């Protein structure tokens, strides 16, 4: 669903504990255009793969742009000004509205028509759009053009279309984590497409550790993070990109200007209380300068960020104030 930056490496050491008689159980599969893996600690198998797949399928039927009969696809294409949404979609949209406000409007789920116009959607384009086309689409882009009323999503213009890919994957991880907890599992790691959430420890009491690989050309070693009870996501601009007016552009579109964002940030890793928050905010940090990103993270409770940016052909790094507290020494 979304394009990730340099690999997030997971350390899956399993140590048998005869006294506790606990085992690490692993589940994995394909989902949302990527892969997922779940590991949890228990005395007996408490969750099966078919249950995990069923949860992911329910979310896809709500918010997947690749399921023609999903709620989001019907909202986007139907000639109606409102549609009933389910609990999944309602929760995600409410969080999207919150992040939109916190980010000064940079996180905007109505940006889909612009993403498509620039060829970063499901269909490629032969040439970039002219200013007149950008301005035309921009006229109906903006979060002020949609609103929730009870369980119905409304839009002011029938041409409005939304894209939840920048937040729905993280939400899926959170739902799977909640399912594990309801099933009585207290120690787990859930990962889907690079979005990660952990709780508790592995067998033997060791912490779950997450390594963040630095970009090619970076001489320092990778970070190893210890993030108990938190989520980690990474977003980057190095995969889905093109060149416009001799400058590299990527799939992050500025909803205020209608044009692809061009700045020095190439990767943003976010630590947050939930994967949905981390997933949403890593898009925001990709749109800001390193100094702006650091300042925003320092203002947001529970949010930390690690940025990689390019300056004069050299990769550099920036951190929010509390990020280093999660780096294993």
Q: What would the pLDDT profile of 210-249 be if each residue is shown by its tens digit?
A: 998 776 555 555 789 999 999 999 988 755 555 555 556 6
pTM for the model stands at 0.90
DSSP 8-state assignment for residue 7: P
305 alpha carbon, distance to own chain's centre:
14
- Rounded Cα gap, residues 107 and 281, in angstroms: 8
At 10, the pLDDT band (50, 70, 90 cuts) reads low
Is 3 domain-assigned? no
* DSSP characters over 223-291: EEEE-TT-EEEEEESSSSEEEETTEEEES-B-TTTSSB---SEEEEEEEESSHHHHHHHHHHHHHS-HH
Long-range contact set of residues 197-202: C-beta below 8 Å, sequence gap at least 24:
197/173, 197/230, 197/231, 197/232, 197/274, 197/275, 198/227, 198/228, 198/229, 198/230, 198/231, 199/228, 199/229, 200/41, 200/228, 200/229, 201/41, 201/228, 202/13, 202/14, 202/15, 202/24, 202/41
Structural domain of 52? 8-326
pLDDT score of 289: 94
Is 215 domain-assigned? yes
Is 231 domain-assigned? yes
At 18, the pLDDT band (50, 70, 90 cuts) reads very low
Q: What strands lie across the sheet with 82-84, from one edge to the other?
A: 82-84, 152-155, 146-149
**Could you give the percent of the chain with pLDDT greater than 90?**
73
- pLDDT at residue 187 is higher than 90: yes
What's the average model confidence in pLDDT over 121-146? 90
pLDDT score of 221: 56
4 alpha carbon, distance to own chain's centre:
9
* Mean confidence (pLDDT) of the chain: 89
- Rounded Cα gap, residues 66 and 75, in angstroms: 13
Q: Specify the CATH number for the domain of residue 156.
A: 3.10.520.10
pLDDT score of 129: 87
Is 16 domain-assigned? yes
Is 305 domain-assigned? yes
Is 1 domain-assigned? no
pLDDT score of 263: 84
Long-range contact set of residues 51-54: C-beta below 8 Å, sequence gap at least 24:
51/179, 52/27, 52/176, 52/179, 53/29
Is 50 domain-assigned? yes
Is 2 domain-assigned? no
The domain total for the chain is 1
- pLDDT at residue 208 is higher than 90: yes
**Continuous segment of H or E residues that includes residue 91:** helix 87-102
What's the average model confidence in pLDDT over 171-187? 97
Residue with tokens 């498509």: 116
- Report yes or no: 33 and 1 within 8 Å, Cβ to Cβ: yes
pLDDT score of 16: 38
pLDDT score of 325: 95
């Amino acid at each position: 669903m979304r394009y990730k930056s340099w690999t997030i490496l997971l350390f899956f050491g399993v140590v048998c504990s005869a006294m506790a008689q606990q085992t690490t159980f692993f589940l994995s599969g394909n989902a949302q255009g990527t892969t997922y893996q779940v590991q949890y600690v228990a005395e007996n198998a408490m969750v099966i793969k078919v249950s995990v797949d069923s949860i992911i399928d329910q979310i896809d039927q709500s918010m997947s742009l690749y399921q023609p009969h999903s709620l989001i696809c019907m909202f986007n294409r139907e000639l109606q000004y409102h549609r009933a949404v389910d609990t999944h979609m309602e929760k995600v949209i409410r969080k999207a509205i919150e992040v939109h406000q916190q980010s000064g409007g940079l996180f905007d789920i109505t940006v889909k028509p612009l993403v498509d116009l620039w060829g970063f959607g499901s269909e490629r384009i032969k040439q970039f759009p002219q200013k007149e086309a950008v301005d035309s689409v921009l006229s109906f882009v903006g979060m002020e053009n949609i609103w929730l009323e009870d369980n119905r999503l409304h839009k002011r213009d029938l041409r409005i279309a939304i894209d939840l890919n920048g937040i729905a994957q993280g939400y899926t991880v959170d739902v799977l984590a909640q399912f594990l907890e309801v099933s009585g599992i207290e120690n787990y790691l859930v990962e889907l497409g690079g979005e990660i959430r952990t709780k508790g420890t592995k067998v033997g009491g060791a912490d779950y550790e997450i390594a963040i690989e630095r970009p090619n050309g970076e001489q320092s070693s990778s970070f190893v993070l210890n993030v108990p009870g938190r989520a980690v996501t990474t977003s980057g601009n190095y995969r889905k990109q093109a060149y416009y007016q001799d400058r590299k552009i990527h799939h992050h579109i500025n909803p205020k200007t209608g044009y692809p964002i061009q700045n020095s940030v190439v990767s943003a890793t976010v630590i947050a209380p939930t994967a949905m928050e981390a997933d949403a905010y890593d898009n925001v940090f990709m749109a800001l300068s390193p100094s702006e990103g650091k300042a925003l993270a320092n203002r947001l409770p529970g949010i930390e960020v690690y940025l990689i940016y390019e300056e004069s052909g050299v990769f550099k790094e920036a951190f929010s104030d509390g990020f280093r507290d999660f780096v294993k020494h």
